[in-house]
Amino acid sequence: MRRIFLLLPMLVLWSCQEEEISIPVEDNASFTAYPKGYFIQTREGVDTIKFEYNSEKKVIKRVGEWLELSGSTGFGNIFSKKLESRINYSGNKAILERFSKMEGINFPKDIQTYSFDGNRINDIIFTYQIRPNYTEKYVYTYENNQIKSIDLRVTDSHYTNDLRSRRDFYFNNNGNLDSLVYREASYDFYDESIPPYIDYKLKNRRVTTFSNYDGSQNPFQNLGIFTDLYYKSLSKNNFRKMETIEYDEDGEPTLGISQSTWDYQYQNGEVKVLK
């Protein structure tokens, strides 16, 4: 079964379809780097996720979110425009929170706090209402004006900025994301004074490749503050295939393989979006 993303999809959400779906959209005669929204496919049909920007063209709201449901409900997730993400900026900081207007649905007070250097993300700190003594900090490293790696560091009642994992990013000559490699941190169990580290000699890892790029400009480039759109935001063009392969300690592929492919609709050579 072919998995199809519709127009500007979320990275982690897709719908399985036997046939490609034709979606009527507004005319998009020219490219926009600040789309007002994009189309998605839900159980009820075609819907849209919309954005709002401030006077500095920074995105401040996303209207329309997916809600993950318990497996006991029989549904993986639902979409509603009564779910929102709002972003407040102050200096080089930004705070992202999710809000619900749905009856009976309340998001926990989980907060994402961003630190910027210009338009680049320096780090993100995730705090969780149900885990008050636990934080996740994602530290971004750049090279040649491109993301090089993202480290996950955890602070809890036992550890402070404890390295847990790293994602290394690789780009092709066209300025498009080629792949990323995820590795867990290693520990020296004989000497606890040695902090966790990434051992590149180990063969167990998870590799995600991005391919089948189109030749159109990327309308996601200013939407990387949303974690589900971050990979999309990194390239000059738009990938249409994503494959992840896990490798064991011997460097052999495991059964943990996933692949997604999809198609965009285009108008005058550009991806159709809400303008």
A 10 A CB-CB count for 196 gives: 18
The pair of structure tokens assigned to 50 is 């919309």
pLDDT at 44: 84
Tokens 């926990």 found at: 108
**pLDDT confidence tier of residue 9, bands split at 50, 70 and 90:** very low
Encode 16-53: b = buried (16+ Cβ within 10 Å), e = exposed.
Answer: eeeeeeeeebeebeebeeebebbbbbbeeeebbbebee
Closest CA to 238 of 211, 261, 257: 211
Tokens of 202: 């180990």
Q: How many residues does the chain have?
A: 275
Confidence of residue 175 (pLDDT cuts 50, 70, 90): very high
Judge whether residue 152 has pLDDT over 50.
yes
Other CB atoms within 10 A of residue 222 CB: 19
Give the pLDDT band of residue 72 (cuts 50, 70, 90). Answer: low
How much of the chain, in percent, has pLDDT values that exceed 70?
A: 87
pLDDT value, residue 11: 34
Look at residue 27 in the predicted model and tell me its pLDDT.
Answer: 46
Instruction: Kindly list the distances between the CA atom of residue 229 and the CA atoms of 8, 73, 99, 202, 217, in Å, as whole numbers in the listed order.
Output: 9, 27, 19, 30, 15
Task: Pinpoint the alpha helices (H) of 157-255.
Answer: 230-233
Q: List Cβ neighbours of 199 (8 Å cut-off, separation of 6 or more).
A: 183, 186
Round the average pLDDT of the chain to a whole number and report it.
87
Instruction: Say how far apart CA 55 and CA 253 lie, in whole Å.
Output: 49
Strand partners, 96: 87, 112
Rounded mean pLDDT, 62-81: 78
Question: Is residue 60 helix, strand or coil?
Answer: strand
Q: Both tokens of residue 230?
A: 């971050």
Return the pLDDT at 78. Answer: 85
Identify the residue whose tokens are 């059964």: 255
Residues 10, 66: contact at Cβ < 8 Å? yes
One-letter identity of residue 267:
Q
Position 123 pLDDT exceeds 90:
yes
Residue 10 pLDDT exceeds 80 = no
Alpha-carbon distance 149 to 168, whole Å? 4
In this predicted structure, the answer to whether residue 31 has a pLDDT above a threshold of 80 is yes
Per-residue confidence at 204, pLDDT binned at 50, 70, 90?
very high
Domains of the chain: 3-271 (2.40.128.720)
When mean pLDDT is compared across 77-86, 109-118, 165-174, the lowest value belongs to 77-86
Please list the residues that pair with 86 across neighbouring strands. Answer: 61, 97
Determine the Cα–Cα distance for residues 270 and 249; give it in Å rounded to an integer: 43
> Beta partners for 138?
124, 152
